Amino acid sequence: MKKQFAFCLLAGILWTACSDKASLEVTNLRCESSIDPQGIDLPLRLSWNLTSSHRNLQQTGYRILVASSPENLENNRGDCWDSGEVLSDESLHIPYQGPRPESRSTCYWKVRVTTNRGTSAWSSPASWRMGLTQPADWQAQWIGLNQSFPGDVLQGKTRLSARYFRKEFTLEDKTLREATLYISGLGLYEAYINDTRIGSQVLSPTPTDYSKTVKYNTFDVTPLLSGSNNALGVVLGNGRFFSMRREGVRHFGFPQLILQLEITYTDGSRQTLLSDSSWKVTANGPIRANNEFDGETYDARMEMPGWSRPGFDDSLWRSCEVTSPPGGTLQAQRNKNIQVMETLTPTSIREVTPGVHILDMGQNMVGWLALKVKGDKGQTVRLRFAETLRQDGTLYLDNLREALVTDTYILRGDDQPEVWEPSFTYHGFRFVEVSGYPGQPAPEDFQGKVVYDEMDLTGHFETSDPTLNQVYRNAYWGIRGNYRGMPTDCPQRDERMGWLGDRAVGSLGESFIFDNHLLYAKWLDDIEQAQREDGSIPDVAPNYWSVYTDNMTWPGAYLIMAQMLYEQYADPEPIARHYNSMKQWMNYMREHYLVEHILTKDTYGDWCMPPESPELIHSQDPGRKTEAALLGTTFYYRMLYLLEGFARLLDKPDDAQAFAREAEEVKNAFNARFLHPETRHYSNNTVTANLLPLCYGMVNEEDQATVFGHIVEKTLGEFNGHVSTGLVGIQWLMRGLTQYGRPDLALQIATNRTYPSWGYMAEKGATTIWELWNGDTADPAMNSANHVMLLGDLIVWYYENLAGIRNKPGSAGFKQIELKPYPLSGLEWVTASYHSVRGPIASAWKKDGGVFRWEVTIPGNTIARVYIPTDGKGPIMEGGAPIHSVPGIRLVETQAGYAVYEIGSGEYDFASDWAM
């Protein structure tokens, strides 16, 4: 397995030192880029972290050297770029300012920082590698076979056999320096050299609108080449290119491949192997059918041993056609590929009818089942997948709608057990029905492969309350199961689409758990590419489903997520890159749907609020539904607010003023129209109707307490302390209740185990989050057991309020941190950590008799405001000493229940009196 450089690769973990060796480290050097052949030439950006065993480490300057060779770098010769000594406390996204590096070149770099604790030595070197940045760099041609083969199904539930490509090549009689493979295979590829799989990625490349962009992957394949004769083999599956359904789903065509293998010898000479018409292809391999909804059929009798090795007899294979390209620009894939991230073994196996077994994976997971089986040639094992079981213990498939979710393995009939797993499908399941298995299957014959985008786990959260922990675990499984190169709505039924509205605020919560920076940056590009010429933004991107309904709440996620990337990752690029498209969308909505400052258009309402009757999907009761124009107008206002901030960030003061002016008009019109003159509630007084204007800053100060009172009253009264919102209101519920003074009610909602609540889902055995609050009783027509949209701001609240780890409002990427935990009655302790872009932040508190004990970690080069809970009685201690005697800790103020201090980086151990 070879390391992949996803176009521009980075670094390693480094340390450097100044006078006191262990005290100052420059770590985690990384390079980000978006230079691509389209001519978009955004800067390469360099980042690093600082750590120190001393407290209060602050960077005051840096010097970066970028060299064309390790030797030059070693000799401090920055022949590509020498930043010189720069006075700056910034350590993230520093634009590379040397000449644009050539395609394929490797750049070596290091950094030295000056700090309030002295100057570091040079860091250890890091490097990145440029991709194919010019269109002319691609010499290869798109190849394939533009036709069907016997057994292929082209209509309805489409199925194709996989296409196998091969080409032999001879190395020159010289010493090899390196070999790099650039490849894209649509919809999905697996590549081999001399029978060895290239990379460990699965379901690659990342899905896009292939008529606009095609992502390619890059691999160092040097160690896979040997001797003079070699062979390359590639298998293509349908993915999202040959669509899963011909009706209603975007279709691009028969699978196609492009690749370029570039070999360099030590004498500097080069040899290139390109995809072209000299390649051979067959559709007669073992993968007989594949489709992401319906599953894969593998006939092991049709395997072709040695097909990706030199010397294989391919005389019956056909010559490839040069196909017309998919249309999209080839771009290096920056977001990570999908990988098998975890493996589960079934927790039980039970025979339900003779020869039919049900496996329980113990967890609703996403991926597939690998199996081990021994039997006769031609015996057929069939696997079907479901999230739940019927009363009689058989699979419940109704909620999967038209997805066939069936994998089939036909045995070779070896003496030894045969091992198999599919290549080009995936399922969302906890239970698997196994039929046709020869002999008695045992748990160890199966492995559940859990697959999703390879992202770092950045967060850890645990608390004394078991329901909160279980819901966190369910959220974690739901979120990871719905990353498939795009955030999907669900992983199991015949849908699996990138619905924008589902991830609006959820993306922020997710970012605490996973490093989702590059995935969401990619998704914003998908959204922009799906924007219509008139400015309309769809509800689904990439637009494999064409859903342009012109509401505010789903497309609004485009702006909300750009803001998230800026806040959490200090990355302003998505805002800069998409600003014009965002503005164009707002202009479009204004022109078409704004009537006297009220945005009337809405499509989904407060989607999936708890309905009045258990079998319903959506509430029919007008008293429970939130009015369309209220949803549209509050979101329109919110977008103006975000755009105003974006305009200021991009130094466009005129734009910013115009957005602010319009926001004021909208706010006035909104209050005139929706605020009840006497009772001071909004519209029909749903929680969502009052919550959105309150959290968006549309409620005049004198009305805020009353409006909030309505939210509390409604929640406690009509809803008996339970959630009453759908996907829209839930985005602010937990934070809104907390901010306006009822964190206890937020906790009650979060720890409920009765309907409707996340705890109720868990109570009913859920191991993920449901699409519907009443997922156990509602109509199966739209009832997935693995949707994350109803999480809303729950995970944000876990981290920002319960643990108290948050980016100080206005700060980007935790340069300034606010640590403010809520030690609510009913919670004994919280232990959480978050690996931010500037390094790890940790907060672990516990109530210890009458003492609040709190351990805190702050990364280098940041400042934190810590809100230490106190009842104001005894002294506050740090590390066993009175806090006022500890150097570097500054008292800012005392407030109700908190003493607020400012601290720098390091580890702290606070104790305060806390009798509550």
Task: Based on the shown chain and the rule CB under 6 A, indicate whether residue 528 belongs to the binding site for ligand RAM.
Answer: no
Binding mask 616-655 for ligand RAM (x = CB under 6 A): ----------------------------------------
Task: Based on the shown chain and the rule CB under 6 A, indicate whether residue 530 belongs to the binding site for ligand RAM.
Answer: no
Q: Interacting stretch for ligand RAM, rule CB under 6 A, among 18-26, 78-86, 498-506, 861-869?
A: 498-506
What's the closest the beta carbon of residue 603 comes to ligand RAM, in angstroms?
A: 8
Size of the site for ligand RAM (CB under 6 A): 10
Q: Interacting stretch for ligand RAM, rule CB under 6 A, among 155-163, 191-199, 488-496, 510-518?
A: 488-496
438 vs 780, beta carbon nearer ligand RAM = 780
604 vs 770, beta carbon nearer ligand RAM = 604
Q: Interacting stretch for ligand RAM, rule CB under 6 A, among 169-177, 206-214, 495-503, 896-904?
A: 495-503
Q: How much of the chain is helix, strand and coil, in % rounded to 5?
A: 25, 30, 45
153 vs 249, beta carbon nearer ligand RAM = 249
What's the closest the beta carbon of residue 121 comes to ligand RAM, in angstroms?
A: 52
Q: What are phi and psi for residue 239, nearest 5 degrees?
A: 50, -135
330 vs 789, beta carbon nearer ligand RAM = 789
Q: Interacting stretch for ligand RAM, rule CB under 6 A, among 381-389, 437-445, 489-497, 675-683?
A: 489-497
Say how far apart CA 403 and CA 381 lie, in whole Å.
19
The angle that helices 687-695 and 628-649 make with each other, rounded to 10 degrees, is 20
Task: Based on the shown chain and the rule CB under 6 A, indicate whether residue 189 belongs to the binding site for ligand RAM.
Answer: no
Q: Give the C-alpha distances (Å, rounded to integers) separating 480 from 491, 510, 870.
A: 10, 9, 38
Among 296, 494, 502, 525, binds ligand RAM (CB under 6 A): 502
What's the closest the beta carbon of residue 500 comes to ligand RAM, in angstroms?
A: 8
Say how far apart CA 535 and CA 546 lie, in whole Å.
15
Q: Interacting stretch for ligand RAM, rule CB under 6 A, among 354-362, 497-505, 668-676, 866-874?
A: 497-505
602 vs 878, beta carbon nearer ligand RAM = 602
Q: Interacting stretch for ligand RAM, rule CB under 6 A, among 8-16, 116-124, 242-250, 496-504?
A: 496-504
Q: Interacting stretch for ligand RAM, rule CB under 6 A, among 4-12, 154-162, 336-344, 493-501?
A: 493-501
Say how far apart CA 322 and CA 276 lie, in whole Å.
6
What's the closest the beta carbon of residue 497 comes to ligand RAM, in angstroms?
A: 7
625 vs 787, beta carbon nearer ligand RAM = 787
422 vs 610, beta carbon nearer ligand RAM = 610
Task: Based on the shown chain and the rule CB under 6 A, indicate whether residue 523 belongs to the binding site for ligand RAM.
Answer: no
Among 501, 574, 839, 869, binds ligand RAM (CB under 6 A): 501
Burial class (CB in 10 A: 0-12, 13-18, 19+), 316: exposed
Contact by Cβ (8 Å): 626, 733: no
What's the closest the beta carbon of residue 478 comes to ligand RAM, in angstroms?
A: 12
490 vs 524, beta carbon nearer ligand RAM = 490
Helix ranges (H only) for 12-106 are 70-74
- How many residues in the chain? 916
Q: Give the C-alpha distances (Å, rounded to integers) separating 52 from 23, 125, 406.
A: 5, 19, 54
Q: Quick check: helix, strand or coil at residue 875? A: coil
502 vs 602, beta carbon nearer ligand RAM = 502
What's the closest the beta carbon of residue 211 comes to ligand RAM, in angstroms?
A: 24
Q: Interacting stretch for ligand RAM, rule CB under 6 A, among 148-156, 203-211, 494-502, 672-680?
A: 494-502
What's the closest the beta carbon of residue 727 comes to ligand RAM, in angstroms?
A: 7
370: part of which helix (H) or strand (E)? strand 356-373
601 vs 787, beta carbon nearer ligand RAM = 787
Contacts of 29 (CB under 8 A, 6+ apart): 10, 11, 12, 14, 46, 47, 48, 109, 110, 111, 123, 126
Q: Give the C-alpha distances (Å, rounded to integers) separating 851 from 186, 271, 875, 893, 915.
A: 60, 71, 11, 21, 7
Contact by Cβ (8 Å): 410, 301: yes
What's the closest the beta carbon of residue 354 comes to ligand RAM, in angstroms?
A: 37
Say how far apart CA 205 and CA 1 lie, in whole Å.
17
- In order, the DSSP letters of 129-171 are E----SGGG-----EE--S--TT-B-SSB-BBPPEEEEEEEE-
| Site residues (CB under 6 A) for ligand RAM, limited to 771-790 | 787, 789
What's the closest the beta carbon of residue 602 comes to ligand RAM, in angstroms?
A: 12
Strands 213-220 and 329-332: parallel
Q: Interacting stretch for ligand RAM, rule CB under 6 A, among 12-20, 88-96, 173-181, 499-507?
A: 499-507
Q: Quick check: helix, strand or coil at residue 223? A: helix
Burial class (CB in 10 A: 0-12, 13-18, 19+), 69: middle
Say how far apart CA 164 and CA 277 lie, in whole Å.
14
Q: What are phi and psi for residue 243, nearest 5 degrees?
A: -65, 155
307 vs 607, beta carbon nearer ligand RAM = 607
Contact by Cβ (8 Å): 407, 345: no
Strands 295-299 and 406-410: parallel
What's the closest the beta carbon of residue 229 comes to ligand RAM, in angstroms?
A: 51
User: What is the dihedral sign for C-alpha 143, 146, 150, 151?
Assistant: positive
Task: Based on the shown chain and the rule CB under 6 A, indicate whether residue 604 belongs to the binding site for ligand RAM.
Answer: yes
Residue 160: other Cβ atoms inside 10 A: 25
2 vs 493, beta carbon nearer ligand RAM = 493
Strands 356-373 and 418-420: antiparallel
Among 137, 489, 494, 627, binds ligand RAM (CB under 6 A): 489
Binding mask 435-474 for ligand RAM (x = CB under 6 A): ----------------------------------------
502 vs 525, beta carbon nearer ligand RAM = 502
Task: Based on the shown chain and the rule CB under 6 A, indicate whether residue 499 belongs to the binding site for ligand RAM.
Answer: yes
254 vs 604, beta carbon nearer ligand RAM = 604
Say how far apart CA 639 and CA 645 lie, in whole Å.
10
Say how far apart CA 302 and CA 281 lie, in whole Å.
15
Q: What are phi and psi for residue 890, nearest 5 degrees?
A: -120, 130
What's the closest the beta carbon of residue 493 comes to ligand RAM, in angstroms?
A: 8
| Site residues (CB under 6 A) for ligand RAM, limited to 787-826 | 787, 789
Contact by Cβ (8 Å): 90, 812: no
490 vs 699, beta carbon nearer ligand RAM = 490
Q: Quick check: helix, strand or coil at residue 308? A: coil
Q: Quick check: helix, strand or coil at residue 624? A: coil
Tokens representing 69 are 């060779």
What's the closest the beta carbon of residue 774 comes to ligand RAM, in angstroms?
A: 15
Tokens representing 654 are 């005129």
Task: Based on the shown chain and the rule CB under 6 A, indicate whether residue 479 belongs to the binding site for ligand RAM.
Answer: no
| Site residues (CB under 6 A) for ligand RAM, limited to 220-279 | none
Q: Which residues contribute to the site for ligand RAM (CB under 6 A)? A: 489-490, 495, 499, 501-502, 604, 607, 787, 789
